[in-house]
Structure 1
Amino acid sequence: MSELGALLRKARMENGLTLDDIQEITKIRKRYLEALESGDYSVLPGSFYVRAFVKNYSEAVGLDADEVLRLYQHEIPAAAISDQTEQSVSRPRPPRRVRSRSSDRLGRAGFNIMMWCFLILIVVVVWVFLINRDDAPAQQADNTPITDKASPAPPTDNAANGGTAASPGATDAQTPTPTPTPTPQTSVVFTEKKGRVDHYDVSPAGTHKVEIKVTGGVNWTEVREGDSSGERLTYKNLTDGTVTSYDLTDSLYINVGRADLVQITVDGITVDDGDEANSKKIQLNVAASSGGDTADTGQSVTPTPTPTPGAGQ
């Protein structure tokens, strides 16, 4: 085993990752990863890929890729320069064609035509603006009402019938106050395990806040929208004390290097990740809405109608 391979394997073991985890992170075949750790570069498809594979492997286990390439450059085979590249470098650049006089004349003629068109467009815009401004006062004069005085409101029937007019304050006092609908509490329920991924249902439907807190050391973290093939939200090592937040509206995929260094919560509720020094994969799915504007009891809340003053007299 080479010194570079021993360094990569040690960093992988310290992060609690297997070769299968590194293969999933870097998308490099497992047999190529084994060749890097053993120092057998002849298995790799070519010397050009060695530096790229070493860089991706180093980033996946939390090492500085540039520093690793600099320290162990004597072990990494240099990429051979192809004959086609040498020919392209040594081949002289062909001289630029000299513009003919006819093309210069056409260019000047096109520029003059464009300038005249621009000036004509400005004149047309100004002319249209002046015509619309002259027509605006005439249209406003036609729409002016004959009188601005509002017609008096008709008298109420209470005074004519001998009744007493109700004061505005009394009407406002009798208006019922709607009972607020209680907010349903968040629940996180384990549903099934597919392969190496634990699936949880989060209810009720809506937007929930997911927090990932790293405690006790550096931890590699991957978060994606939807499932494991969705858009990346986080894909790197998080240091001790780092807290990241995400909005959960549909589904969220979480993959951590060591579950014992991470705490995952949904709206303050801790998700059980096993708390072991191994990688953990979790899929959070928001439950579908049940529909209806009802409270937790399942009954609609309807305000009681208030009798109108003077009704039935």
Structure 2
Amino acid sequence: MADEDVAPEQGELAITRTGDRLRLAREAAGLSLADVATRTRITQRHLAAIEKSDYSELPGRTYVTGFARAYARAVDLPEAEIGAAIRQELDEDAYGSRPLYEAYEPTDPARLPTARLTWTLVIVTLLLASAYGVWRFLSVEPDEALIAAQNRAADASEAPQNDLAAPAAGKAGSQAAVATNAPVVLTGISEVWIGFDDAKGKTENWRTL
């Protein structure tokens, strides 16, 4: 007798999810999932997921609440109460699925770089940067040997011109000297009058040639 009194209480305690309430109401009304699907125009797969409280099978939170309210209307359950219960279950599931804290894995001290290694890397980096800066500075400076070679080439190109200019000037001077002291010979192909101007511009020695 005592067992018979406890059994209903255990059955009532077992019905803790909204999906179980909907399923029991459907069975009490003598309806199948196909009948509820026809009344609500919801697929049997989604209705079965609601009965199992497996809400991950449904498209989203809004669809879960809407489908559950439609299911409640089809089996004469208070849809507002069912909708509120579904939202509460969704909140509990979402909260329970998140860990209260993230597991923290302590770092192995052997993997951490020591202070000496850190300073060594810093010094090496600074030395490399300094060496690169010096190389860049020297690479843009002109090479002294190259400058000297260019100067020698410029001097060599100018020397022949000076040498050629000097003999030309000497030759012109000698020709001028010769022209000043040498006699002038005139030859005519017919009889002409000819006269000569002296240094003062006076014409003298008019004669027939």
TM, length-normalised to structure 2: 0.35
Task: Judging by fraction of residues, say which structure has more helix.
Answer: 2
TM, length-normalised to structure 1: 0.24
Higher Rg of the two aligned structures: 2
Task: Judging by fraction of residues, say which structure has more strand.
Answer: 1
Larger RCO, structures 1/2 (Cα 8 Å, 6+ apart): 1
